[in-house]
Structure 1
Amino acid sequence: MAASVHGGRIGNLPAEANAFIGRRLELAEISGLLGTERLVTLTGPGGVGKSRLALRAAHAAKDEFPGGAWLVELSELRDADLLANAVAQATRLTEQTLRPLLDAVCEHLAGAPLLLLLDTCEHVLDECARVVQELLAHVPELHVLATSRQPLGVPGEHLLAVAPLPLGEHDDAVALFAARAAAAVPSFTLTEANRAHVAAVCARLDGMPLALELAAVRLRGFPLDRLLEGLDSRFDLLVSPARPRLARHQTLRTAIGWSHELCTPLERLLWARLSVFAGGWDVEAAEFVCHGGPLDAEEILALLASLTEKSITTRDGEGAAVRYRMLDTVRSFGAEWLTGLGEEEAVGRRHREYFRWVARQGEAEWLGPGQRMWAERLTAEHANLRVSIEASLAAEEPETALELTGSLWYFWFACGFAEEGRGYLERALRRAPEGGGPEHSRAVWAHRLVTVVPDDLEAAESVSAAYVWLAEERRLPVSALPLTGASLAVRGESARSAVLYGTTAGRSPAGDGGAEFHHLLTLALQAYLLASQAAFERCAVVAERLRADCARRGELWMRAWGDFFIALAGIGLGRAEEALGPAREALAAKVRVHDRLGAAAVADLLVAAQAAHGEEELAARLLGVSRNLWHSAGLPQLGDPSSTVFHREYERRLRALLGEAPFAEAVREGGELGTDAAIALALGGVSGPMGL
């Protein structure tokens, strides 16, 4: 007989305790899956909201199941052999029989279509898989919605990974926190004044619904700013008041500890050691940093796969690009265990050693065919590089700090992190011992390379102003050359260029990679100075040589400056149409290696090229794009028309050509584009994520 009506309704779903917030896309996806798939499993880490999402989805779908929607809560089940009993009890099977209970359950559930919600399967996973497989085989009308920290592994299972809530100031995490805070403290209201603080709390808690609900209740005893400060000790702060709540949800520590108990000893050890990483890691890094003692490097890949199945780590990418990461809350739990094991110092040292090797290897291969790979790899490892540098500085390891910061000159200079690199280099040099040495010399050289001082900006402005005057005097095209960005980007002021050339015999303290860079930079400086003197034919010759030398090395970043100066020369010679191709090639290359500063300078060039080509409206849009790129490069003054000769001049000319309102609208449209759309516009309509 089919499962019976209970209490005047079909099924046993409990009423929801409070309003459900967000998850519209996930609910729609689950609704669609329940109509086509017989087993849907929601996976994700503890506290991410799998149970609540499944319950909401079951309530929404129950009208589609005449046989009822039935919840089987498994979190308190300790004996896996009693799982069939739990299903029988939840679905109101009262028959006493000597035959196998699962057979009786199958007969009991047969008949009208029904939905079985199995909540919290991970600790009885094998038995869950067996029972579900039997039920699906013998009850054709049955659909199962399960929640688990790892898949059941049953044939036909459809997995849906539940992620934390989105974290923007107007997204679901903030909405959930605000709703629960208002319930706990009726005087609480989300306002523009406190929205940023609420968003910061949500970000610190990774958008994890359980953590957000626990934090919201704490507003009864803490003002919002104190709550944010207290999240440094989140496991102690986020304790639920005594009220009916599943034991595993009483505190954040208990919720994550539940996952910890499900791990093997080696998985727990790896979890603890992985906590030294920030922002993710790849397999090679995990093998180097986390091996030792009972944990062999050869075992780590399989253990990572197991931790990923158990929702402790997440996996992104394919092939060589595969990376793993942990939510910060999960990482913090692992860090506590690492400290308790007494391994914090040793594993941290291996982390620094690994990323010191990464920095050196990247330097050796930067000016070659692997440049794009290294730009992407170091951008992905940016958080780990920061952790390594900070730890070296804190651990009084001046040589390691000098080597790390100095070896990364190419990353600081070429990938848009000059300001950050300058700060780290200054701190490392202050801690360096007297007397210097190779690492000290390289760090000094790198510091000079990435340092931009007010004199540099004034020099850049004076060159641009001189060219604007030259363009007026010689009646050159409307496009006064955008040398502000170029001069700053290639550091062309002759009075200071000697500091970039390194030591005697033309060799840089940065070693072979630095010496090659010195040669290529010299060509770029020559092209710049020739362009600033309006010697455009000679500028193009030098730029072609720069392009050729880079092409032989398979190098992208400096080659893009060759394209830049070829385009610049084309505009100066009145051949704007010819300038568009190399300018776009330069921009595409700068984007590929994440060079924000270079991309901003090339965007200026494209403003000039499009204006000279008669595309005034597009040029105005690109002016808005250019300003945003200068801001993202960390030099917003070079996108400010009130202080920059180039932007001031183009604002005047394009405003005159287009008219006040059309000009303002075009600049606004360009300025409101997202990064990918802005780059696509500048590249002439190319679409897809560019990753700047």
Structure 2
Amino acid sequence: MVASVRNGRTGNLPAESNAFIGRRSELAEISALLGTARLVTLTGPGGVGKSRLALRAAHTVRASFPGGVWLVELSDLKNPELLTNTLAEATRLTEQTLRPLLEALCEHLDDGPLLLVLDTCEHVLDECARVAQELLAHVPELRVLATSRQPLGVAGEHLLSVTPLPLGERADAVALFAARAAAAVPSFTLTDTNRTDVAAVCARLDGIPLALELAAVRLRGFPLDRLLEGLDSRFDLLVSPARPRLARHQTLRTAIGWSHELCTPLERLLWARLSVFAGGWDVEAAEFVCHGGPLDAEEILALLASLTEKSIVTREGDGVAGRYRMLDTVRTFGAEWLAGLGEQDTVRDRHRDYFRWIARQGQAEWLGPGQRMWAERLSVEHANLRVALEECLAAPEPETALELAGTLWYFWFACGFAEEGRGHLERALRRAHDGGPEHALATWAHRLVTVVPDDVDAAESVSAAYVWVAEERQLPVPALPLTGASLAVRGESARSALLYGSSAQGPGGGGGAEFFQLLTLALQAYLLAGQGAFERCAAVAERLRADCAKRGELWMRAWGDFFVALAGIGLGRPDDALVCAREALAAKWRVHDRLGVAAVADLLVAAEASRGEPERAALLLGAGTRLWHAAGLPQLGDTGTTVFRREYARHLRKALGEDVFAEAVCEGRELSPEAALRLALDGVLDEPGL
């Protein structure tokens, strides 16, 4: 029997970037609350350290949550309607279903004790409250740890107010300042000589962690005594006789404002313009969006380095792949400055146009050797794409929204964001009149992302609507391979053959047209396999693989591997089939196609069974349940749902006996998606971390 394995769903917590200082009592209280309370919300003003405390607490308690600890960062989310999509993305649920996504998310998270960390809820508070309430009602073993400037207001919510760090020469505020100062200036050491001045700096900043960290960086240009003098003179301007001490939000704002004053005029201008980004940016994006007027594109890299030195922005990654981010409080200050300059609309338009260009570049190169790079790049830029789409949808002309949402067809369809893509496309189509290339593109893209296994009728309806539009407007009329494929999945091969055609064109040609040509070959292979014509299936699949190889394309090439493997099983060549199926599985995982991963995993069940490895096949049958669950279609992972899984379950049960079969399937079902992938690729049961 295969050795027992652990679930391995550890979650997505990032490593902590620096040492955590203090907060022992708060950490103990959070741990205790999460043992009994379903929802714990850390409240407090901006900059007080709620997010950092929540991350440390999540790391501290992760062993208590075998279902995983999942961080959902909400500061970059602008549209509350996309909260559930953001949760699905963070918890690795692929949006390949037309069921309500929240319903699918509840099923996805209902997998043992699990902690969800909702960070920065205040700007989407009502939707956070609604979704948290639904999740808690339908996922019994779920705990939620939220951070917000105000309570969510959900029944059963337990509040913990996060206050500034304690002050005093031996207190946590001094320890934090000293640690960050030593990181900024390695020669700095906290001594009995300078301890009093450090404590005075901390008192001047009310012990607010973000203010302390910004001030510590100032030691690169000021000795400690000058830093204290600067704080005194800067803050005294805001002290009134009626209020001898500054309110905490004034303290933080003043600390950020002082950092702003110490920047050069060009650094301030770049800071303001960078505030339009969501989820970070790279140098190319900053140069395109932020140049203009006195700010040349060639200066931006050096200015970014200077802002990084001042801790206004943070850098992640190395070399050309490096990205920059800005803390939410700092970005808000920059956005207010940008509005004051009167540049808000201009810079937002540049941001929108840059990401329209990125979408077009991705479409043009999708069927090429850069496909994996584009899948990863657009996933990284997801928050910025959402902002650009919202700008397009708010514009008076509907064409830009149609064009951007339609151009991203490959991202919605192939990278696991079908549900979100449908939402954007439907909003864009509702605003537009029929006609024009943008409308045709958006309608075609909507049809593409509507064809998912659990709503074929809707796909047929959209397909018929597109044919009518195309004929009325004299636009290219594609064949209907997607609808045909979905019908074939349901066993309706006769109807799928009637809908199938030999000419496949996407609106406007280009990437869409090439994609449909490849998709036509994939459907031919599928139908031939369904008819038992395995030699012809293999020939068509080999042609598909060759056409993809010419382009360096990965996503559709994997379906060619899939059908070659399927034909190999039918022709009695299971060893060859296993090799091809593993190649397909690795490729599908690389481009984040979890639906494809689940489908290929089912094929591996057949390959292993045909090779005389029934126990391993049963383990993979159970693992497939987990992979279908991760793809957002848990019903397709049920051994009794599809003909394929039902028949293989019957075959393997007979070969192994009921007890051994049930134990193997149960073991496979307990694997994480990553561990299931390892098993399928090389037979090694291991922890995640691919």
TM-score > 0.5 by shorter chain: yes
Give the SS at the match of 1:651: helix
Residues 644 and 340 of structure 1: CA distance in aligned 2, closer, same or farther (over 3 Å): farther
Matched, 1:379 2:391: no
Correspondences of 1:202-351 after superposition (within 5 Å): 224-225=153-154, 247-248=205-206, 249=208, 251=248, 254-255=251-252, 257-263=254-260, 264=263, 265-351=265-351
Distance 1:201 1:538, change over 3 A: closer
Q: Whole-Å Cα distance in 2 between the matches of residues 624 and 336 of structure 1?
A: 53
Q: Tell me how far 1:532 sits from its aligned partner.
A: 0.3
Q: Provide the aligned length of Structure 1 versus Structure 2.
A: 488
* Counterpart position of 2:440: 441
- Determine if contact 2:50/2:147 at 8 Å carries over to the other structure: no
The one-letter amino acid paired with 2:425 is L
Task: Report the equivalent of 2:556.
Answer: 558
Tell me if the contact between 1:405 and 1:443 (Cα under 8 Å) persists in the aligned partners: yes
- For the residue of structure 2 that corresponds to 1:200, the secondary structure is strand
On the 8 A contact 2:487/2:496 being kept in 1, the answer is: no
Change (3 A) 1:217 1:291: closer
Distance 1:498 1:653, change over 3 A: closer
Partner in structure 1 of residue 188 of structure 2? none
Q: Report the CA distance between 1:429 and its aligned residue.
A: 0.9
**Aligned-residue offset at 1:281:** 1.5
Determine which of 618, 643, 651 is the counterpart of 2:641.
643
Q: Give how far 1:668 is off.
A: 3.4
- RMSD of equivalent CA atoms: 4.6
In structure 2, C-alpha distance between the alignment counterparts of 1:447 and 1:401, rounded to whole Å? 13
Deviations 1:44-96 (A, max 9, x none): x965599x99xxxxxxxxxxxxxxxxxxxxxxxxxxxxxxxxxxxxxxxxxxx
Work out which of the residue numbers 614, 620, 623 in structure 1 matches 2:621. Answer: 623
The match for 1:532 is 530
Partner of 2:196: none
Partner of 1:432: 432
Aligned mates of 1:364, 1:403 — CA distance in 2? 14
Distance 1:615 1:549, change over 3 A: same
SS at the partner of 1:518?
helix
Q: CA shift at 1:534, angstroms?
A: 0.6
- Asked if 1:353 is matched to 2:271, the reply is no
Assess, with a 3 A threshold, how the Cα gap between structure 1 residues 556 and 401 changes in structure 2: closer, same or farther.
Answer: same
Asked if structure 1 preserves the Cα contact closer than 8 Å seen for 2:652 and 2:661, the reply is: yes
3-state secondary structure, aligned to 2:288: helix
Partner of 2:225: none
How far apart, in 1, do the equivalents of 2:483 and 2:647 lie? 12
1:671 positional shift: 3.1
**C-alpha displacement at 1:567, in angstroms?**
0.2
1:438-477 to 2 correspondences below 5 Å: 438-452=437-451
What's the CA shift for 1:274? 2.1
Gaps of 5+ in 2: 1-20, 29-45, 70-109, 125-145, 169-202, 209-246, 460-481
Residue deviations 1:232-276, cap 9 Å, x none? xxxxx9987999965342635643652452241433332332222
Q: Secondary structure at the match of 2:56?
A: coil
Q: Deviations over 1:91-131 (max 9, x none)?
A: xxxxxxxxxxxxxxxxxxxxxxxxxxxxxxxxxxxxxxxxx
User: What amino acid does structure 2 have at the position aligned with 1:388?
Assistant: A
- Residue 573 of structure 2 is aligned to residue 567 of structure 1: no
Partner in structure 1 of residue 174 of structure 2:
none
Q: Could you say what secondary structure the match of 1:578 adopts?
A: helix
Task: Return the alpha-carbon distance in structure 1 between the equivalents of residues 657 and 368 of structure 2.
Answer: 47
Show the counterpart of 2:72. Answer: none
Structure 1: how far apart are the matches of 2:48 and 2:166?
Answer: 18
- After superposition, the Cα gap between the structure-2 partners of 1:444 and 1:579, relative to the gap in structure 1 and judged at 3 Å, is same
SS in 2 for 1:280: coil
CA distance in 1, matches of 2:374, 2:667: 34
Task: Check the 8 A contact 2:483/2:499 in 1, yes or no.
Answer: no
Instruction: Give the C-alpha shift of residue 586 in structure 1.
Output: 0.6
Closer, same or farther: CA 397–328 of 1 in aligned 2, 3 Å: farther
Counterpart AA for 1:200: L
Partner of 2:25: 19
The 3-state SS of whatever aligns with 1:673 is coil
Q: Superposition pairs for residues 596-615 of structure 1, below 5 Å?
A: 596-615=594-613
TM-score under structure 1 length normalisation: 0.61
Q: Are 1:360 and 1:407, in contact at CA under 8 Å, matched by a contact in 2? A: yes
Q: 8 Å contact 2:120–2:147 — kept in the other structure?
A: no
- Give the direction of change, closer, same or farther, for the CA distance of 1:266–1:660 in structure 2 (3 Å limit): farther
Cα contact 1:489–1:601 (8 A) shared by 2: no
2:510 corresponding residue in structure 1:
512
Counterpart of 2:562, as a letter, is F
Q: What's 1:404 paired with?
A: 404
Deviation at 1:357, TM superposition (A): 0.6
Change (3 A) 1:458 1:350: closer
Q: Please say which structure displays the higher CA radius of gyration.
A: 1
* Equivalent residue number for residue 679 of structure 1: 677
Q: Compared with structure 1, are the counterparts of its residues 197 and 544 closer, same or farther at alpha carbon in structure 2 (3 Å cutoff)?
A: closer
Amino acid at match of 2:450: T
Q: 1:359 to 1:49 in 2, by over 3 A?
A: closer
Matches of 1:229 and 1:390, distance apart in 2: 34
| Residue identity matched to 1:281 | W
CA distance in 2, matches of 1:618, 1:485: 33
- Residue type of the alignment partner of 1:583: A
| Residue 368 (structure 1) aligns with | 368
Displacement after TM superposition at 1:335 (Å): 3.2
Residue 201 of structure 1 deviates from its aligned partner by 5.4
Contact 1:501 1:507 in 2 (8 A): no
Higher relative contact order (Cα pairs below 8 Å, separated by 6+ residues):
2
Structure 1 residues 359 and 494: alpha-carbon distance in aligned structure 2, compared to 1, 3 A threshold: farther
Residue of structure 2 equivalent to 1:388: 388
- Contact 1:537/1:569 (CA < 8 Å) preserved in 2? yes
Give me the TM-score of the superposition, normalised by structure 2. Answer: 0.61
Instruction: Report the Cα distance in structure 2 between the residues aligned to 1:275 and 1:648, rounded to whole angstroms.
Output: 54
For residues 291-332 of structure 1, what are the alpha-carbon distances to aligned partners after superposition, in whole Å with 9 as ceiling and x for unaligned? 223322222212222222333333222333222223444434
Query: 1:200 maps to what in 2?
Result: 118
Q: Which amino acid aligns with 1:304?
A: L
2:589 paired with 1:591: yes
Contact 1:273 1:347 in 2 (8 A): yes
1:399-427 Cα offsets, whole Å, 9 max, x none, are: 11111111111111211222221222111
